[in-house]
Structure 1
């Protein structure tokens, strides 16, 4: 809480407790205190926002919902949504052509930093995004039955990791604290694939690297 707001809150608390010298003590006009007590002319400190608090909260909810539906938006989408809303309700704003600038979008994210964050997204294909908890649980149960009685040195796990040459990552807006900021698309860029295979008792096979090329330099 800003210091001026904190001082005002202390002064109001003392006034409500019957301490008549509070206004003089904190050097706050009595008219300001009366307005606060009776709910008149209440505004936030600093410049006033174009949208009301409830309108901004609706934007926040919309951004979180879009990310939840695997269609996260970026700051340009947020600005376009704000313009569309202003045009639809017929409200004239201080923005040129009702189109907020980049600075407004950044300030919006700062105001709602406890609910939103713009992060680099992980690009994954829709087929991978479709895997849910039920599918993983079913796979785990079947794997347990299949491996029953098999020695650890005979059990190998194989996995791959892609190093993309052009990941095409961009900052998108997600709910604050989301663990995997994924951007689900139907295509991915080319990548170098590194494949690893490890047995259950810790033996590691040499890694295998797959390049997107017919011929490679010896180096």
Structure 2
């Protein structure tokens, strides 16, 4: 084992699994987090290593990624905890409840007229969108980090389309700075 490999193969495999498991569940790691974790383990074990202050450097990180090509550095998109909690089951329950409501209101005919069915979606445009690169599984198209709270201020865009293809002009919602003289 060369001086840059340092960790035993079994430790590297556990680290690789930890990185990929965290990324799969929406908590991908920044390289600094991985370096901090390795440093902590090396300090706790007290074994000799060539790291300065028991901390692996950039070169070790580059070689680690080279040894494990299925792990790559990518930029992520932030997801709120609420949005991350959406599941197929919850969507199906919502559709079922919506049908029940339309039936009760005797408005089920809405579902047969595409000009009466609209989809409104919002998207937040962050004023400071950089999240940095994180360690993820190679080939994954979408990589998300779940934000613990509102991380950055954003401007919200609302876009609305009818099933018939009709488009409603978009709306921009700016952050509320307080009630406007009311």
TM-score between the two structures when normalised by the length of structure 2: 0.80
Runs of 4+ in 1 over 6 A off after TM superposition: none
1:108-119 equivalences under 5 Å are: 108-114=64-70, 116-119=71-74
Q: What stretches of structure 2 of length at least 5 have no aligned partner?
A: 178-182
1:160-199 equivalences under 5 Å are: 160-185=122-147, 186-199=149-162
Distance 1:133 1:118 in 2: 29
Is 2:109 aligned against 1:149? yes
* RMSD (Å) for aligned C-alpha atoms: 2.4
TM-score between the two structures when normalised by the length of structure 1: 0.68
Aligned to 2:168: 205
Residues 76-103 of structure 1, C-alpha deviations (whole Å, 9 max, x = no match): 1111222222222222111112211122
Q: Which has the higher strand share?
A: 2
- How far apart are 1:75 and its partner, in Å? 0.6
Higher-Rg member (1/2): 1
Is 2:10 aligned against 1:70? no
Q: Which has the higher contact order (CA 8 A, sep 6+)?
A: 2
- How far apart are 1:50 and its partner, in Å? 0.8
Q: In the comparison of the two structures, how many residue pairs are matched?
A: 169
Aligned to 1:131: 86
- How far apart are 1:48 and its partner, in Å? 6.0
Q: What stretches of structure 1 of length at least 5 have no aligned partner?
A: 1-42, 215-219
Closer, same or farther in 2 for the Cα pair 1:92/1:47, shift >3 Å? closer
- How far apart are 1:180 and its partner, in Å? 2.8
